[in-house]
Amino acid sequence: MSGRRGEGGLGEALAEVDRFAATMDAEAKRYWMLHRKRFEWVADFACHHAPESGDYRLLDVGNSFQTVLLKAALPYSQVDTLGFYDYRFSAGEGSRHFEMDLNDAYLEEKWPRLESEDAAYDLIVFAEVIEHLYTSPEQVFHFLKTLLRPSGRILVQTPNAAALKKRLRLLCGKNPYELIRLDRGNPGHFRELTVADLRGYAKRCGLQVEGVWMDSKLVDGKRFDRVCDRISRYLPAGLRGGISMSLRLG
């Protein structure tokens, strides 16, 4: 049986999550609309790499609306989650959650273990998480590699630290990066990265960069951000707001 949704595909899955988001509080609704295009991009990537038939296993790091969308778009696939659990965004019956603070990735005794090689994953979605960690991404990638099938891949998404909008703020004497928040459960971004940073981490971890996509259209930010994002589409890719990178075992 194909892991993919039948006729209607991703558009039908998005409509399903639109209805789900409409039942939630105002902050959650805003987050869904702000990141809807990005979630759609991730789900499209997952669907594109899903086999027409057979087993397809996904691990979503940090369950969110993205988890719900992945399961809606790939209803016959196994969609598991890892990180801090948010009960609102379950992948449904049969889904497994690995509770883990990824900042503990440097402690191998805290790494979740798989029961068998068959339980490993074809795709690990690591989207908009890496910038929230104070532990080195090198440690985190070494951990995530242990959960991959030999042919599996890790999809990383993160804001571009060298985006045009950030350069312009710095030029005006303003810090383009937010301060660490008082909320320990949501402290914000500890460190943003560039494509070169991610490539360096991948190389040191024995991961091959399969593809890089730079896009400023995936997140709808404030007015200044939107103007910079529109301008950056006509400039070198390194000035765009978002990075998506596919990594595979080297």
- State the CATH number of the domain containing residue 250: 3.40.50.150
Boundary of a domain, candidates 53, 76, 99: 99
Partners of residue 158 on adjacent β-strands: 243
Q: What pLDDT is stored for residue 30 in this prediction?
A: 93
In a shared domain, residues 116 and 91: no
Last residue of a domain, one of 99, 124, 152: 99
Same domain assignment for residues 44 and 116: no
* CA atoms of 230 and 35, how far apart (whole Å): 17
Question: 130 and 75 in one domain?
Answer: no
204 shares its domain with 89? no
Do 230 and 155 sit in the same domain of this protein?
Answer: yes
Residue 37 within a domain: yes
| One domain, residues 137 and 159 | yes
Check residue 143 and give its pLDDT. 97
* In a domain? residue 226: yes
Greatest CA separation for the chain:
57
Do 172 and 91 have their domain in common? no
What pLDDT, on a 0 to 100 scale, did the predictor assign at position 8? 60
Do 76 and 119 lie in a common domain? no
**Per-residue confidence (pLDDT) for residue 1, from 0 to 100:** 37
Say whether both 137 and 243 belong to one domain: yes
Domain-embedded: residue 52: yes
Tell whether 32 and 2 lie within a shared domain: yes
Q: For residue 79, what are the domain limits?
A: 1-99
Residue 105 is assigned to a structural domain of this protein? no
User: What is the tally of structural domains in the chain?
Assistant: 2
Q: Based on the domain organization, do 87 and 115 belong to the same domain?
A: no
User: pTM, whole model, 2 decimals?
Assistant: 0.93
pLDDT in 10s for each residue of the chain, 250 residues: 345 555 468 999 999 999 999 999 999 999 999 999 999 999 999 999 998 877 999 999 999 999 999 999 999 999 999 999 999 999 988 999 999 999 999 999 999 999 888 899 999 999 999 999 999 999 999 999 999 999 999 999 999 999 999 999 999 999 999 899 998 878 999 999 999 999 999 999 999 999 999 997 777 777 888 899 889 999 999 999 999 999 998 7
